Amino acid sequence: AKLKSFAAKIIQLLKEWTETFPYDFQDEKSMKELKEIAQRITQCDEENGTVKKIISQMTQNLLMALSARSQYQEIREKFRQPVTDKGTILKTKPQSTQKDILSVCCDPLILAQQLTYIELERVSNIYPEDLMQIVSHMDSLDNHKCRSDVTKTYNLEAYDNWFNCLSMLVATEICRVVKKKQRTRMVEFFIDVARECFNIGNFNSMMAII
């Protein structure tokens, strides 16, 4: 009875650990240790197999979480290519092929909604691990020898980069317009977009536009 009670507490601990900090189990050594602990706990409840089902589901969710983050990391790495001289590209392109943002989307509400989708996608990939890593880097590495292979997480950096990219996009779209009347129209358009972002509750995009 004591073993079953203890096993239930260990399962709860592992469940919360794997859900909150899945990156702790991405290397083979830690995953092997997790499986060994799970196997020993399963022996405490061999009769009805309830513990085995819970552990199996926990492991499956962990592997899915690690796989999803790995795919997201690969996709994001493709966009971390060196930035070329965009000014030169714009000069070499014919004027007719250079589209401004108004020709792509002239409705401030729709653009604000699309920006919000991007914000939510970026935010959904920020995990407690990203915040913990910032805290750990503030201290000396000598105090964090429990894990010798701390994996860097770039989700906060990606979110920060998105803010800068949006700011640069707004500035570029305004400055590339030659005529004052068109430039004024562009400024007014982005003011409307920022207002719609405010109404939606997307304050990050609003501040980037401002």
Q: What pLDDT, on the 0 to 100 scale, is given for residue 152?
A: 59
Q: What pLDDT, on the 0 to 100 scale, is given for residue 3?
A: 76
Cα distance between residue 108 and residue 194, in whole Å? 8
Same domain, 128 and 57: no
pLDDT exceeds 70 at position 111: yes
Q: Report pLDDT digits (tens) over 129-143.
A: 777 777 766 664 555
Please give the structure tokens belonging to residue 24. Answer: 């702790």
- Choice among 16-20, 34-38, 66-70, 166-170 with the minimum mean pLDDT: 66-70
* 186 contacts 173 by C-beta, under 8 angstroms: yes
Q: How confident is the model at residue 147 (pLDDT cuts 50, 70, 90)?
A: very low
Same domain, 126 and 34: no
Please give the structure tokens belonging to residue 1. Answer: 């009875």
Please give the average per-residue pLDDT across 184-191, as a whole number: 95
Residue 180 sits in which domain range? 101-136+152-209
Share above pLDDT 90 across residues of the chain, in percent, rounded to a whole number: 28
Helix (H) or strand (E) holding 194: helix 180-200
- Exposure string for 79-108, b = 16+ CB within 10 A, e = fewer: eeeeeeeeeeeeeeeeeeeeeebeeeeeeb
125 SS3 class:
coil
- Does this model's pTM top 0.75? My answer is no
Same domain, 118 and 176: yes
Same domain, 132 and 199: yes
pLDDT exceeds 60 at position 96: no
